[in-house]
Amino acid sequence: MALTLGGLAAIVARTRLNRAYRQGFPEARRERLFLSSLAFFTTVMFVRAFTFAVRHNLAPFHDFFMRGRHIHHLVWGILLLLLVGYLWLLEIGTDSSPKWLNGMTAMIYGVAAALTLDEFALWLNLRDVYWEREGRESFEAMAAFGSLLTMGIFGRSFFHAIAGEITRWNRKEPIPDRRLDHQPTSMKKL
């Protein structure tokens, strides 16, 4: 998974895609959202493939045990979330840090969120229901969070427009009639 994300980063950095990438993400915040989203969805695919391989006894994949206890991947996700949160408290991986560190912590956050939410049903049921009907709750949690990340990237202008309308409404400003702006010039003269 790390190799895949690193490979994608290397391809973008060393090709013409770098310029398009820089133009597409002029703000560090939007870039972090994108990188978190990319890492999140990549991790979801890898984790689901890995757990499928474990369930069907495909070598060399198997569950991880420590002292006879099965360690679920949600544990690794929680530990990574704690790590990233602590780094951000220290302002490591924020706007005051080097750009590569911002991207690194954003990707670790996406990976951690995927590892944790993939076993969301375990949180709710306090038992391993990964392959049972209740396991669907994990898919729903991942879809909701993935949608939130994606909306943060692509919905920026829409959310700014909503905020502007709410501000205008709170100030009781008149709403501009935009229908007149889209009429042909000959209609505006009438």
Report how far residue 125's alpha carbon sits from residue 52's, in angstroms, rounded to the nearest whole number: 21
User: Which neighbouring-strand residues pair with 65?
Assistant: 70
Taking the alpha carbons at both ends of the chain, their separation in whole angstroms is: 63
pLDDT digits 0-9 by tens, 78-103? 999 999 999 999 999 988 888 889 98
Phi and psi at 98, nearest 5°, equal -60, 150
- Give the mean pLDDT of 132-148: 86
Q: In the chain, where are the structural domains located?
A: 28-172
Q: For the chain, what's the residue count?
A: 190
Extract the tokens encoding 71: 């360690």
Higher pLDDT, 104 or 135: 104
For residue 157, the model assigns a pLDDT of 64
Assess contact for 119 and 73: CB atoms under 8 A: yes
Diameter of the chain measured on Cα atoms: 83
Query: Which of these ranges, 6-10, 34-38, 40-44, 89-93, has the smallest mean pLDDT?
Result: 6-10
| Residue 148 to residue 156: CA distance in whole angstroms | 12
Q: Which whole number is the average pLDDT over 38-64?
A: 90
